A and B are shown apart, each in its own frame.
Chain A
Amino acid sequence: SQQGEEDPQALSIQEGENATMNCSYKTSINNLQWYRQNSGRGLVHLILIRSNEREKHSGRLRVTLDTSKKSSSLLITASRAADTASYFCATASSGGSNYKLTFGKGTLLTVNP
């Protein structure tokens, strides 16, 4: 089952603009993570936000988390052509002693030079 659902599925912007991607999920989480995937490659972790946090920054990335709405957003400021990639949110939940990370379907971001 896929917990997180990203929105939009695809986003095309010009270099220098900001890009915002959203993620909604269904059940309680321990944390929410954002990953990036370049075409044909593995995923790279970008940022993790815990369920008791509301906002987190890392360089040009800003992540917010609203647990009451079960949603998160990823903002990339001053985008560059090199930011072109797919971006996935992943929710971490724990049932007993098991730790699982469940991914959404991703947002394909294209940054045009």
Chain B
Amino acid sequence: DGGITQSPKYLFRKEGQNVTLSCEQNLNHDAMYWYRQDPGQGLRLIYYSQIVNDFQKGDIAEGYSVSREKKESFPLTVTSAQKNPTAFYLCASSILGSPLHFGNGTRLTVT
């Protein structure tokens, strides 16, 4: 079955540590996205990539970094510079211009 896999589902880290969230897709989509969702809020775009080895900042990129070395993979690193990292992180992919397919998210808790 084609889809997007985010791992792990739950992640706990101590403040000051960097953490990397995994996102893999086998849909052969060119575009991939990372969104952040806080309780009762919509989704805010962190980074997106429309092609391998290229990515653009979204609306809230500060404190995050990404890479796109392979078409299938778009990992997100939450760095210690992110002031409020506890959130639900959603990865998505799409054919450019078409609706997004989402993974089931990673809930990150930083204490």
Does B bind A?
Answer: yes
Interface size on B, residues (CB 8 A): 29
Q: A2-B44, A45-B100 are in contact. List 13 more A-B contacts (CB 8 A).
A: A33-B99, A40-B105, A42-B4, A42-B90, A43-B100, A44-B102, A45-B101, A99-B31, A101-B33, A101-B45, A101-B100, A103-B44, A106-B42
Interface majority SS on B: helix, strand, loop or mixed?
A: strand
Instruction: Report the minimum CB–CB distance from A78 to chain B (whole Å).
Output: 24
List the A residue with the shortest CB-CB distance to B103: A42
Chain B residues 75-94 with CB under 8 Å of chain A are: 88, 90, 92
Is A100 in contact with B45, judged by CB distance below 8 angstroms?
yes
Interface majority SS on A: helix, strand, loop or mixed?
A: strand
Is B104 in contact with A41, judged by CB distance below 8 angstroms?
yes
Interface size on A, residues (CB 8 A): 25
CA–CA, A2 and B43, complex, Å: 8
Is B99 in contact with A48, judged by CB distance below 8 angstroms?
yes
- Which of chain A's residues have a CB closer than 8 A to the CB of B43? 43, 88, 103
Residues of A within 8 A of B (CB): 1-2, 4, 30, 33, 35, 40-45, 48, 88, 92, 97-106
CA–CA, A1 and B43, complex, Å: 10
Is A43 in contact with B90, judged by CB distance below 8 angstroms?
yes
The winner among B42, B101, B102 for most chain A CB atoms within 10 A is: B42
